[in-house]
Structure 1
Amino acid sequence: MTTRTASTVVVTGASAGVGRAVAVAFGRLGWQVALLARGAEGLESTRREIEAAGGRALPIVADVGDAAAVFAAAERIERELGPIDVWINNAMVTVYGASVDITPEEFAQVTRVTYLGQVHGTLAALRHMRPRNSGAIISIGSALAYRSIPFQAPYCAAKSATRGFIDSLRSELRHENSAVTLTMVHLPAVNTPQFDWARNKFDRKLAPVRPIVQPEPIAAAVVRAAFERPREYWVGPSAVKAIVAQMLVPSVADRLLARAGIENETTDEPADPAAPDNLYQAGRGDPGAHGRFDRESSHHAVPFNPAWLRAGAALGLVAGAALIWRVARADRDRRSLMTRM
């Protein structure tokens, strides 16, 4: 895969936030970018931004929770743009609130879009990639796929389910010796419009859990993943810390998050109870890629490949085993010498 003009990428949730930043980043490389989202106004704005940057865009209004709509979009993309090289599953919705205050219908809708939307996009991509035995599918995950936090149970569950689905499917593809690759890019908190669009059960405005990263370095990590095709990327030190902490000291993380409470995910500003959200319908207008936290958001976030961590741990185990063997051998030799004396 190269940056040739004929390369085609599909981005779901492309009308705003991370999806928009990712779509524009590929457009700047001269790629053909298919844009999927529910909001026509945001899609058209993304299209104009891509074309101004030198790329070609095909906006398609579609709800990723509707499998038939996603499959039909994939068929149209293949007809109008040619073979899909990369498919990026990014679309999401969420609800903030205590689990007991979230309705079963709200849980179901977050699951339909944030989890099943990833399943539908992946299956749509595989319909075209498997016969060609080529292609890359990238799922936008979150540190919350590993370490759930309070007051975002539907979203955390959806991201965890996505990780389980991708891990299972990866083994299935390897079983058939497929060259199609699967990557998950797990994000930190990102400055996107979601904190004004998400359904909010609190009486205060929503906020990301600090530290916050701008969408552009996230987009750069996703583009890198399309070329390097790692199993996973953990983007930024906060994502790495959260995932590793969950692996090593989950009970400590439980207590810290419980102590942080609602204040960790809200501001001091009162929420507008009449404000619209995007749980069931597309967000209104064209908010762009950024949210309202520009002043405190970082422009840097390096993607970390956990394979490096696993390799380091393996080397440590080998070194530890070698040291134990040497100590045991030295002790055996010493006792043998004492026996002969």
Structure 2
Amino acid sequence: MKPTLKPLAEQVIVITGASSGIGLATACAAAEAGARVLLIAREDKDLRPIVAEIVASGGTADAFAADVGDAARLRAAAAHAVQRFGRIDTWINGAGVAIYAALRETPAEEHEQLFRTNYFGTVHGCLAAIPHLERGGALITIGSIAGDMPSPLMGAYAASKHAIKAYVEALRMELGEAGLPISVTLVKPSGIDTPIAQHAANHEPGEAQIPPPVYDPKLVAQAILHCATHVKREITVGGAGRAQALFAAHFPALFEVLAPKAAASFIDPARPQPRPDNLFASVRTGRIRSGEHHARRTSFYTTAAEYPGTTAVIGVGLAAGLGALIASRHRTRH
């Protein structure tokens, strides 16, 4: 059964990882569009000021404290959303953490905690959401272009995003086979100007950096909310990231040579890493951006992915116009 998705102004949207970065940007944009939003993060104290700001701006929002690694707490969050707003129309899995370290030097307890948040947080979120979406809705997960290629110094993070991709794709098949009208979408951001690197567990000598080029978080929020109202299998935010993934897929041997050299840009040796990290506990929340980049505010590739019909028409129109111009100049010359 094909999903029917409501306009944003008629939706109830639940977002995990909503206290900073992409999750926070999406929560604010959803509320501004008229959606009723439930923000989820580990600490209630981190969410209450955000909710108060959304409400003061005319939006409708509430908060629920839950560690996404705790399946029972996410089920309770889903129940709270239904009790507070009557239903759930879109669920967004946005919680995520990162580790910067060679895989051989990644502490086992950190590696396990990263998967508890990134991968099992997605699993728990999906399973909490599905019973409330069975009459129709959107289930959106924030993956990464790192799920399409390996990443030296961020190997554990990339592995978790590969796992998320495989889980989401299999889940989409199973829900489709069951005839459930749920749109299952994987959003794959390129490098995005959020505080994730500043929050990361970093075992390298220097400050962790977001792999360039870097895009504005609002582009991801816009793509996520587009997927809340349009049935999409997946979307990559940032053409540069898509190009990197394609290069890795088609030239794997060369990528294996170049990627470790490019990974040097993941660390700034002149600056210390902010402490503590947020792997096991919430830190320095309430910020959408890192404050360290001049992020790209547009991506023609992502716009084309969101509106393929429109951009195809534009492309044909431009090609026809260019052809007419060339023909006109050719006639003028003869």
CA contact 1:232–1:306 (8 Å) conserved in 2: no
Residue aligning to 1:223: 225
Unaligned runs of 5+ in 2: 313-334
Counterpart residue identity of residue 183, structure 1: T
**What is the DSSP-based 3-state SS (H/G/I as helix, E as strand, rest coil) of the residue aligned with 1:280?**
coil
Note the C-alpha offset of 1:226. Answer: 1.1
2-side partners of 1:203 and 1:177: how far apart?
A: 51
| CA positional deviation for 1:4 | 6.2
Q: Does the CA-based 8 Å contact 2:223-2:306 persist in structure 1?
A: no
- Per-residue CA deviation, residues 294-326 of structure 1 (Å, 9 max, x unaligned), is 4x2111134253997xxx9xxxxxxxxxxxxxx
State the match for 1:203 in structure 2. Answer: 205
Q: Distance in 1 between matches of 2:46 and 2:288?
A: 10
TM-aligned CA distance change 1:245 to 1:146, over 3 Å: same
Partner of 2:283: 283
CA distance, structure 2, for counterparts of residue 306 and residue 61 of structure 1: 32
C-alpha RMSD of matched pairs (Å): 1.9
Counterpart of 2:69 in structure 1 is 65
1:45 corresponds to 2:49? yes
Give the one of 298, 306, 313 matched to 1:300: 298
How does 1:1-341 map onto structure 2 within 5 Å? 1-3=5-7, 5-130=9-134, 132=135, 134-261=136-263, 263-272=264-273, 275-284=275-284, 286-294=285-293, 296-302=294-300, 303=302, 305=305
Quick one: which amino acid aligns to residue 69 of structure 2? G
Q: Distance in 2 between matches of 1:39 and 1:269?
A: 32
Post-superposition, which runs of at least 4 consecutive aligned residues in structure 1 deviate over 3 A? Answer: 1-6, 304-308
State the alpha-carbon separation in 2 of the partners of residues 246 and 232 from structure 1: 19
CA displacement 1:213-244 (0-9 Å, x = unmatched):
11111111111111112101011111210221
Paired with 2:262 and 2:192, the residues of 1 have a C-alpha distance of 19
Aligned length, in residue pairs: 303
**Contact 1:42/1:288 (8 A) holds in 2:** no
* Secondary structure of the structure 2 residue equivalent to 1:33: strand
Aligned residue type for 1:293: E
Output the amino acid matched with 1:37: A
Q: What TM-score, normalized by structure 2, do the two folds share?
A: 0.86
Encode CA deviations 1:42-68: one digit per residue, 9 max, x unaligned. 312321332233221111111000001
2: CA distance, partners of 1:260 / 1:194: 19
Normalising by structure 1, we get a TM-score of: 0.84
Q: Using the alignment, how far apart are the partners of 2:8 and 2:74 within structure 1?
A: 26
* Aligned-partner residue type, residue 27 of structure 2: A
The structure with the largest alpha-carbon Rg is: 1
What's the secondary structure of 1:173's corresponding residue? Answer: helix
1:331 alignment partner in structure 2: none
User: Which string of whole-angstrom CA distances, capped at 9 and with x for unpartnered residues, describes residues 18-47 of structure 1?
Assistant: 000000010001110000001333312321
How far apart, in 2, do the equivalents of 1:215 and 1:260 lie? 23
**Contact 1:22 1:222 survives alignment (8 Å):** yes
> Taking structure 1 as reference, are residues 2 and 181 closer, same or farther at Cα in structure 2, changes over 3 Å only?
closer
Q: CA deviation at 1:164?
A: 0.4
SS in 1 for 2:247: helix
CA contact (8 A) 2:198 2:273 kept: no
Per the TM alignment, residue 281 of structure 1 is displaced from its structure 2 partner at its CA by 0.5
Closer/same/farther in 2, CA of residues 272 and 139 from structure 1, 3 Å limit:
closer
Q: Which amino acid aligns with 1:82?
A: G
CA distance in 2, matches of 1:154, 1:122: 22
Q: Which amino acid aligns with 2:305?
A: N
CA distance in 2, matches of 1:116, 1:164: 13
Distance 1:85 1:145, change over 3 A: same
CA distance in structure 1 between the partners assigned to 2:181 and 2:209 by the alignment: 40
Cα deviation for residue 105 of structure 1 reads 0.9
Alpha-carbon distance in structure 1 between the residues aligned to 2:242 and 2:306: 9
Aligned residues of 1:141 and 1:163 also touching (Cα < 8 A): yes
Moved more, 242-251 or 103-112: 242-251
SS at match of 1:109: helix
Segment drifting more, 4-13 vs 154-163:
4-13
